[in-house]
Structure 1
Amino acid sequence: MDFLVGDYLAGMGVKQLAERYGIHRATVFSHLRRRNVPSRRPGLGFDEKAEAVRLARAGVSMRAIGRRMGVDRKAVRAALVEAGLIMDNTSQRS
Structure 2
Amino acid sequence: MDALVGDYLAGMSVKALAERYGIHRATVFSHLRRRNVPSRRPRLGIDEKAEAVRLTRAGVSMRAIGRRMGVDRKAVRAALVEAGLIVDEASDDS
Fold match (TM-score > 0.5): yes
| Pair 46,77 (structure 1): closer, same or farther in 2 beyond 3 Å | closer
Are positions 1:16 and 2:13 aligned together?
no
TM-score, structure 2 length as denominator?
A: 0.65
Moved over 6 A (4+): none
Structure 2 regions of 5+ residues with no counterpart? none
2:33 match: 33
| Pair 52,7 (structure 1): closer, same or farther in 2 beyond 3 Å | farther
1:2 match: 2
Tell me how far apart the structure 2 counterparts of residues 21 and 70 of structure 1 sit (CA, whole Å). Answer: 20
Identity of aligned residues (%): 70
Structure 1 regions of 5+ residues with no counterpart? none
Instruction: Spell out, residue by residue over 1:30-88, the C-alpha distance to the aligned partner (whole angstroms, 9 max, x if none).
Output: 22123231223x3x3243x64243144143321201233241x333111112133x131
C-alpha RMSD over aligned residues: 2.9
Q: How many residues align?
A: 89
TM-score, structure 1 length as denominator?
A: 0.65
Alpha carbons 1:53, 1:80 under 8 Å: kept = no
